[in-house]
């Protein structure tokens, strides 16, 4: 089983210097690539000077996470792609459990490891934690992370578990599946493209798994922090894209209507917090969604709606009204 680890980079020389050594030291059985999104810093010269054995793929522009990986992976030949953020530190035996899972679970098309917080290693990290899910309204959440609440890792998720979506911070995907699904939707640019990809995969009958014996440490927020209005814009817009593309039309539009109302509540909350740029980001997200709605509707043609997609009815209600902050209280396996 040939594995290619592909790290997407954009002006991340400092991150490569800090995090690349662990990947090299603990990934002896894999080929390592850096896909560069037209960086203007010293990333390329740093790699050529210090790591000449690493294969460099030069994308023509910064097309974000989605387009960046789509372009780069066309040049990579492997059975399994590992899409790894540049701000991830891997553990010593992180690959073996994933390889074993692919070998023993032939129906597994996508796998993610446990994602821990680099700065607080005994806690899960926001981007993926112990595997992703969504609620009935399409809000994503994770085992180990609901909104901003991060659980301590006490071994409660040291299992192999089918999940709904795998994080793009560290995603293993069969190359044949990635290509069959035409990769990520480049219209997303960044954020929640992995939710859409996994949703499309599930609609086609593929399975996504979490493997807790493999773990990595994620810094998070290296490209866009939670305080950046652009991240708010992308998350709100892209979530509406995914609902439009991946649900039956009648159900999808009903959910979008509710989501638009809840987005208005979120905008009001930002105003009360004095975070006016985030309120404006939601407005821009809606305008962009309306403009691109015809395109998103056309992308529904390949969808097959045969699955129950949600793990719970509303994480918004559970979290903000009932104060539920842990996955095992919210969702009963």
Model confidence pLDDT, tens digit, residues 6-62: 999 999 999 999 999 999 999 998 999 999 999 999 999 999 999 999 999 999 999
Comparing CA positions, the residue from 258, 255, 244, 254 lying closest to residue 303 is: 244
Structure confidence by residue, pLDDT tens digits, 112-155:
999 999 999 999 999 999 999 999 999 999 999 999 899 999 99
Q: How far apart are CA 316 and CA 312, in angstroms?
A: 10
Find the angle CA(296)-CA(193)-CA(89) to the nearest 5 degrees. 175
Q: Using a pLDDT cut of 70, give the percent of the chain over it.
A: 97
> What tokens were used for 60?
């023509």
Q: How many CA atoms lie within 13 A of 161 on its CB side?
A: 20
Between β-strands 149-150 and 145-146, what pairing exists: parallel, antiparallel or unpaired?
A: antiparallel
Q: What is the pLDDT of residue 199?
A: 96
Helix (H, G, I), strand (E, B) or coil at 286: helix
The answer to whether 101 and 160 are in contact (CB under 8 A) is: yes
Q: How confident is the model at residue 301 (pLDDT cuts 50, 70, 90)?
A: low
Q: How confident is the model at residue 111 (pLDDT cuts 50, 70, 90)?
A: very high
Q: Which fold has domain 3-218?
A: Spore Coat Polysaccharide Biosynthesis Protein SpsA; Chain A (3.90.550)
Residue whose entry in the numeric block shows the structure tokens 């203007």: 40
Q: What is the pLDDT of residue 114?
A: 98
> Angle, nearest 10°, between helix axes 193-203 and 229-246?
10
Q: What is the pLDDT of residue 220?
A: 82
Comparing CA positions, the residue from 76, 91, 90 lying closest to residue 33 is: 76
Q: What is the pLDDT of residue 95?
A: 98
Q: How confident is the model at residue 173 (pLDDT cuts 50, 70, 90)?
A: very high
Is pLDDT above 70 for 323? yes
Q: Where are the beta strands (DSSP E) in the chain?
A: 3-9, 30-36, 55-58, 80-84, 88-90, 108-117, 120-124, 132-134, 140-142, 145-146, 149-150, 160-163, 170-174, 207-218
| Residue spans per domain, the chain | 3-218, 229-330
The stretch 275-303 carries a mean pLDDT of 93
Q: What is the pLDDT of residue 333?
A: 67
State the virtual CA torsion across 23, 83, 99, 19 in degrees, nearest 10. Answer: 10
CA 240 to chain centre: 16
Rounded to whole angstroms, what are the CA distances from 297 to 243, 247, 252, 302, 331? 10, 11, 11, 11, 31
- The percent of the chain in helix, strand and coil, each rounded to the nearest 5, is 40, 25, 35
The answer to whether 3 and 99 are in contact (CB under 8 A) is: yes
Which residues are 146's β-sheet partners?
Answer: 149
Helix (H, G, I), strand (E, B) or coil at 165: strand
Structure confidence by residue, pLDDT tens digits, 221-276:
655 556 789 999 999 999 999 999 999 988 999 999 999 999 999 999 999 999 99
């Amino acid at each position: 089983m040939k594995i290619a680890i592909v790290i997407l980079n954009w002006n991340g020389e400092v991150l490569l210097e800090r995090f690349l050594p662990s990947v090299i030291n603990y990934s002896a059985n894999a080929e390592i690539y850096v896909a560069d999104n037209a960086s203007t810093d010293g990333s390329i010269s740093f790699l050529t000077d210090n790591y000449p054995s690493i294969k460099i793929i030069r994308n023509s522009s910064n097309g974000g996470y989605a387009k960046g990986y789509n372009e780069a992976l066309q040049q990579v030949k492997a059975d399994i792609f590992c899409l790894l953020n540049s701000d991830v530190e891997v553990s010593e035996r992180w690959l073996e459990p994933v390889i074993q899972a692919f070998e023993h679970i032939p129906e597994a098309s996508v796998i993610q490891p446990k994602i821990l917080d680099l700065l607080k290693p005994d806690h899960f990290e926001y981007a993926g934690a112990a595997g992703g899910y969504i609620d009935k309204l399409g809000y994503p959440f994770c085992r180990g992370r609901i909104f901003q609440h991060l659980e301590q890792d006490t071994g409660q998720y040291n299992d192999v578990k089918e999940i709904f979506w795998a994080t793009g911070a560290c995603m293993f995907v069969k190359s044949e599946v990635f290509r069959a699904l035409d990769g990520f939707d480049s219209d997303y640019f960044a954020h929640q493209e992995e939710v859409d990809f996994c949703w499309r995969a599930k609609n086609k009958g593929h399975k996504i798994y979490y493997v807790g014996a493999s773990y990595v440490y994620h810094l998070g927020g290296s490209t866009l922090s939670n305080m950046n209005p652009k991240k708010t814009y992308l998350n709100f817009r892209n979530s509406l894209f995914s609902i439009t593309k991946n649900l039956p039309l009648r159900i999808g539009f009903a959910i979008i209507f509710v989501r638009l109302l809840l987005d208005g509540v979120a905008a009001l909350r930002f105003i009360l917090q004095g975070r006016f740029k985030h309120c404006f980001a939601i407005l821009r997200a809606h305008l962009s969604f309306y403009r691109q709605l015809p395109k998103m509707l056309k992308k529904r043609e390949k969808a097959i709606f045969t699955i129950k997609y949600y793990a719970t009815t509303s994480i918004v209600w559970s979290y903000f009204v009932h104060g539920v902050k842990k996955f095992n209280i919210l969702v009963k396996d």
